[in-house]
A and B are shown apart, each in its own frame.
Chain A
């Protein structure tokens, strides 16, 4: 198996002596080139899962359990597990191009090759013409495009996406979802996508993992077999999509 979460358990200290359990004995296996979404109400530990996989403190190490990637347990953060954050997390002091180049530079990729890779991902993410602009001059949607390009440029084995479209308006969000779908079909990265937006999860994924409320456990693992490429104008009225949405919403307890 490509990526395995083996019995992850994690609690966090709240005020005083109370501890909140974020994850409890969580097992999950993900195959290479799979696009998997994790959905659940806030506080279900979905962000904790991503941060544990990324190896970021204070989430990593977990209290118990391990993350295995291609046959070895992870021991901390690393470039083979790229991450896209809800807050974009672009370096404000670098231009779009310099942001995208950053990971390649750390890897020691020579300048010529770096520029080529950079140009490819700038084109892929629709950022042509914005190479030399600083992040504060970009809209939220464009910032997230740049952040995705930056994460893809180092060719991570796994791309972790933490509610990447939560901060953009509805229209931009749909455009970005469709664009990410196309990009994924070209790049075929293994993606773990965290969201509380069920429709978004189904639209993008091969599999949707529905989580229970605290402590986070897997409630259901739902395969999505809608054919690709997917566009909202068709998916919106697709009965299979609507049924899936209904089922998952009920599973995570968000239907009213």
Chain B
């Protein structure tokens, strides 16, 4: 058992080794200047340098705070509006055309207006994340509510639930979908964040890599790219995925097949 767990882990790293070797090999030939093709050791060195100085972590914290704010605002708006649309036909009829158009406009397209409204910096970035997180959360909340079996609501009614108490059950029933929407939304938000920071901010991981290019510090660009990728992987696999898995299991979405 232990051995196979180690193997599992090892195979998450092994595929990168030939890529690293090839990369280092080509870079060592010296055919290209370092600003076009930094070598892996140079990247590692840049990582240690920026990690020790703390600059990398400052940018990362800045990005994560923006992501958190945008997800909080966009997610809660999406859930509240989604619940309202899921349980009320008139509300759904009114908002459906609006959000259908809204979700077709990428979050990044809001950058110009976001800068005009909020100025360069966190405000504009948070707004872009908001516009990216809102729609997946909204749509998944609505579909989650629509798939709560009617018989559960009937059960609540015959046990003495009021209309408000039934709505509470509906929302609880939709939770796995809501969480899936949040997970997708956070993915969209993360992409929008990096793009937004390149244009509308003077800090954050997106800014870090865009700014490093101007000084031809390609090692720093790669360090930033890897940090962006790895921190999202950690966020997703340590926080979001297990949470989603747990609700799906508990809600019987998977378990109900074992009747």
Contact = CB atoms under 8 A, between A and B. Distances in A.
A94 to B, nearest CB: 9
Interface in A105-141: 106-107, 134-137, 139-140
Interface string A133-174: 011110110010001001100100000100000010000000
Contact of A81 (B158, B169, B256): B158
Interface stretch (A83-91, A186-194, A201-209): A83-91
A225 to B, nearest CB: 31
Nearest to B152: A89
A42 B161 CA distance: 30
B251 interface: yes
Nearest to A77: B157
Interface string A236-251: 0000000000000000
Contacts, number: 81
A81 B157 CA distance: 10
| Interface bracket on A | 20 to 34
B175 A93 contact: yes
| Interface bracket on B | 20 to 34
A106 to B, nearest CB: 5
A54 B159 CA distance: 10
B252 A136 contact: yes
A136 B246 CA distance: 13
A78 interface: yes
B258 A78 contact: no
B258 A136 contact: yes
Contacts of A136: 249-252, 254-256, 258
Interface in B209-259: 249-252, 254-256, 258-259
Q: Which 8 A-B residue pairs are closest in the complex by CB-CB distance? A: A136-B255, A79-B160, A136-B252, A103-B159, A77-B157, A89-B155, A92-B252, A83-B158
Interface of A: 54-56, 77-79, 81-83, 85, 87, 89-93, 102-103, 106-107, 134-137, 139-140, 143, 147, 150-151, 154, 160, 167
